[in-house]
Each structure stands twice: as structure tokens, then as C-alpha cells.
Amino acid sequence: MYTFLLAGLLVSCKKGGSKSSWKKKDGTSDVTGWHYNDKDQGGYYVAKPKDIKTGPGLVFVQGGTFTMGSTEEDVMGDNNNFPRRVTVNSFFIDKTEVANVHYREYIHWIENVFSDPQYEAVVQGAKPDTLVWRSELAYNEPYVEYYFRHPSYNYYPVVGVTWRQAHDFCIWRTDRVNELALIKSGYQNKNLIKQEMNGGGQDNFNTKSYLMGEYEGVPGKPKKNPLKDAQGRPRTTVAFEDGILFPDYRLPTEAEWEYAALGLVSENPAPRRSEKKRGEELIANKQIYAWKNDGYDNLRATKKGAMQGAMLANFKRGNGDYMGVSGGLNDRSAIPASVTSFFPNGFGLYNMSGNVSEWVADVYRPNSLLDVDDINPYRGNVFMQVDKSGGEGNMRDSLGRIKMIPENDSALADRRNYQRSYAINYLDGDSASRVFYGYGVTTLISDQSRVIKGGSWLDMPYWLSPGARRFYEEYESSATIGFRCAMTHYGAPESGSTKTKTGNFFPKRRQKR
């Protein structure tokens, strides 16, 4: 049967097909021999392998191994950051903390897209709590009124944002970046923006909804369109496999955040640039703060020059000293400072020590560093699946996002790698570990407790160490807590057009017989 089928195809090719199409060698399947991107051979489209583009605002962080946890005697007695060696894969992270102007952009979009009165709770729920500045024994009312809104504070870190709000901001940012990528590529019409901003409501662009075919938008007509369907006709619907869309923005894991804060790449005197030149993989004594130890005082610039003696971070120097004496001003900032101020670390990231503490993705547990995996460690998983109960065409919620529900545990019974969808308390508060948290009775730790890192303008130097960790409930906010976003880097751990290989490649040698 297969012989006759192949013969028929060859005859068809000789009569009306393109002979050159059947002879070309580029883009051929190693397992079938059929050609990719060829309408005469099935039209299976395969994008050329390429490195992921760096999304707006992000910096590439090459992964590696490091010692996560405390760096000096635990003077606070928390015992929650025992040192442990782990590995994180490469990722992207924001160069700076998310600023007021960025979050106001988000609010502007929310207010216009969800302008219908039925969405009033959505609009109000996205706004930061400016009352976090209020104090019974301090005059902070100007900050309550103006810190978030006044242009003077445009590029100061947004505060008063809960973990949940920060999480939603990341989803919004993913959709806006991908929507713009499609418009620039010509796969969505530019008039889509006006349509959305005129009270689009549920019918707004969402990446997952688009990829699942639940959202069409306003298709465009790209001038140069390499995308084809099985019959060779131009295709205007983009799939993730086409390499046009960005991965999701998200909050960084605690391990990613701490690794990025340490900036260990600066310890390597000869970074790998080719197969013939490699670094020495050196890690010196672990630094105390986000920049490499340099001199006696790790909080001030010690090298001779105009900046010698200048504070490297925004923090509380001592009781009642938030910015120094008039005429000197040791850090020139009584409250949060602009997001690009102070000394960047080895990865070029600003304010990983000081300014504002930052939300990370992890659920807090005192022993997380001992419990979690030693590669890409993270506690906080709830494994979800698409809710298809409404049928095709009805899988979006009122905000235009795909409805998700936890996986059914009964369907996971035969799996070896996991058997429960709710993994937040795995081996730490469930029947398997026989450890339980009595929230409100014996502890303030719950499954809604989220880790904060980095120290703030209100903190003493101890909390500026990347290994220090505290927690807040995910529905709470503070004048000392902000956030920055991250993004997964797919593929090879090195970045750049000449560094897309995974593994080591040696010269080919003929086998001896």
C-alpha cells in the first residue's frame, strides 16, 4: 500500500509538482526525510532556530550554580536562610524596579478597556493603596496624595502594590508586548488598539486566548509573510512555534532574584566568548550586598575619584538618619529614589540592595532552602488546566483570559513525578510530612505568605543582603515593597546569535577499526 502511495506521489510530482521542491536538501526532517516549509510535501512549517529576543525593559542573566542563603552570622535569629548550593537556568529580569509611570500606564489601560460600570471593581482593584504612606505620628499626607501621581515621582518605584496586583501586572505586560509584536509584524491591524481602548472589555487581546483560538482580534495583512498553511496559502494566525511572540512576563522566583542580585558574572575574569576561550568559573568569597566586595566599607564607593565615599544604595544608615546631613546628604534620598539611581551590580541591575524590597513568586516557608529542588528551586506551584466546561468559544472569563482550574487529583494517581495539583504545602503542611501550620494560632505563616527580598529605604544594612528573606501576605501592601518582572529564557543557556549551542561540541573524528 505504501509503495503505491509513494509511487502516486512521485507521478503527481512529475506531472504538475515542482521537481526542484523534491530535490532540495535544506530544512529536511531527520526522521522522515520530508521537507519542511514545502506545500508539496505537507506544508509543515518550522521556524529557523534562533535566540529569544530580549523583551522591553529586560536584561539577560546567564544561569549557573551559586550558594543561596545567608552570608554572615544570622544576627536576627531567623534561621530561615541556611546556605545551600543550587542551580538556576538562564532567564531575563527587569533592569529596574517597576516605576510609577509604568504602573500608571497599566491603570490607564484598565480604566479605558474596562470603562463599563460593571467592571468598576476591576478598575479599583488594580490601583495601588496610597494609604500605605499614612502614619499616626508622621506628616506623610503629601506622599499619600502625590507620590504615585505627580510627574516628579514618575520614575520612582511603585509601592502600595500587593503580590496579587504585581502578578496581574505581569499578565497585562505580556499581553501588551505580544500585541505590539503582532501589530509590528502585520499579523494584527493597528486599529485594534483603538477598538480595545474604547471600552473593549472582555474582547481585549490576551496571549493565551489568542493562541488557543478564542480571540481573533483584527487580523492584518503582513507584507512579507513567511507563514503558510498546508496548502501553501499565507497564514495570518500566529502560533507560538513561529517564534514571533514573547514568553510570559512573571515575578522572578526567589532563587532567580537572589542569583541576579549577586551578579556573580563579575567574578569571572574571562567570560566565555567562544569554544576556544572559556572562563575559569571562579566564585570568590560570597559578597554581602548586590555588588562585588571592594574595600573595607561595602556600603560606600572606596575607589579614588569623584564618587569615593558615596553610598551605593538607598537604606537607613542609623536611627533617624535616612539621607544624611544637609550639604552632604549621604544617599540623597529620604524615601524611595528613582529606579536608575545608585550603583548597578554585575548584571547591570539597579537597586537589588535597598530602595524598596521586592515581591518574588515564592510562597514563604522557613525551611524552603532545605526542602525545594536544587535546580530552579521554587515553592508555590498549583498545577492548572484549561476549563473546557463551557465548550469551544466560551473558555474566556469576563476579563478575556482563559479560564483555568486546578488539575483533578484523581487523574494524577498513576503519575510518578507528581500526584497532587496543589503543591504549595507539599511535604510541608500535608499528611505526607505530618507538618502543619496553625495560622493565627502558632504562626503567622500561611499559604498566602509570599517572600520579599532586597531591603528598602526604611531598613538597616542587614536586610540589604541578597540572602536575607522576609514575608508579607499576598493581599497586603507596604510603602517599602515594590517589584520587578522576569521572563524565562528558552533554549541554550547562553544568549546571542553566536551562542545558541547547548552542550559542548568536539571536532568529528573517524572511528578506528
Residue 131, in any domain of the structure = yes
What does DSSP assign to residue 122?
Answer: H
Is pLDDT at 2 greater than 80 in this prediction? no
For the chain, percent of residues with pLDDT exceeding 90: 61
Is pLDDT at 339 greater than 60 in this prediction? yes
Q: At what angle do helices 100-113 and 163-185 cross, to 10 degrees?
A: 80
Residue 194, in any domain of the structure = yes
Residue 431 confidence class, pLDDT cut points 50, 70, 90: low
Residue 298, in any domain of the structure = yes
Residue 38 confidence class, pLDDT cut points 50, 70, 90: confident
Residue 216, in any domain of the structure = yes
Q: Locate 250 and state its grid cell.
A: 512573571
The Cα diameter of the chain in Å comes to 91
- Among 228-242, 471-485, 495-509, the minimum mean pLDDT is found in 495-509
Residue 1, in any domain of the structure = no
The pLDDT value recorded for residue 11 is 39
The sign of the CA dihedral 440, 442, 444, 450 is: negative
- Measured between alpha carbons, how far is 399 from 206 in angstroms, rounded to an integer? 9
- Among 263-267, 291-295, 480-484, the minimum mean pLDDT is found in 291-295
Q: What is the pLDDT of residues 46-91, one digit of tens each?
A: 888 778 889 999 999 999 999 999 876 677 777 898 899 999 999 9
Contacts of 481 (CB under 8 A, 6+ apart): 159, 161, 356, 357, 358, 359, 452, 456, 472
What does DSSP assign to residue 513?
Answer: -
The string of DSSP letters for 313-353 reads S----BTTBSS--TTT-SSS-SS---TT-S---TTS---SS
Residue 267 confidence class, pLDDT cut points 50, 70, 90: low
Q: What is the pLDDT of residues 275-326, one digit of tens each?
A: 555 666 666 667 889 988 765 457 888 777 777 778 899 999 999 999 999 9
Q: How many CB atoms lie within 10 A of CB 94?
A: 25
- When divided into structural domains, the chain yields a total of 1
Q: What is the pLDDT of residues 164-215, one digit of tens each?
A: 999 999 999 999 999 999 999 999 999 999 999 999 999 999 999 999 999 9
Q: Is 100 helix (H, G, I), strand (E, B) or coil?
A: helix
The mean pLDDT value for 322-347 works out to 93
The pLDDT value recorded for residue 1 is 44
Residue 141 and residue 134 in contact, taking contact as beta carbons nearer than 8 Å: yes
Residue 161, in any domain of the structure = yes
Residue 6, in any domain of the structure = no
Q: pTM, whole model, 2 decimals?
A: 0.90
**CATH number (domain holding residue 149):** 3.90.1580.10
Question: What is the phi/psi pair of residue 195, to 5°?
Answer: -65, -45
The mean pLDDT value for 38-45 works out to 85
Residue 309, in any domain of the structure = yes
Is pLDDT at 487 greater than 60 in this prediction? yes
Write out the residue range of the structural domain in which residue 359 sits: 62-269+282-501
Tell which residue, 463, 366, 382, has the closest CA to residue 421.
Answer: 382
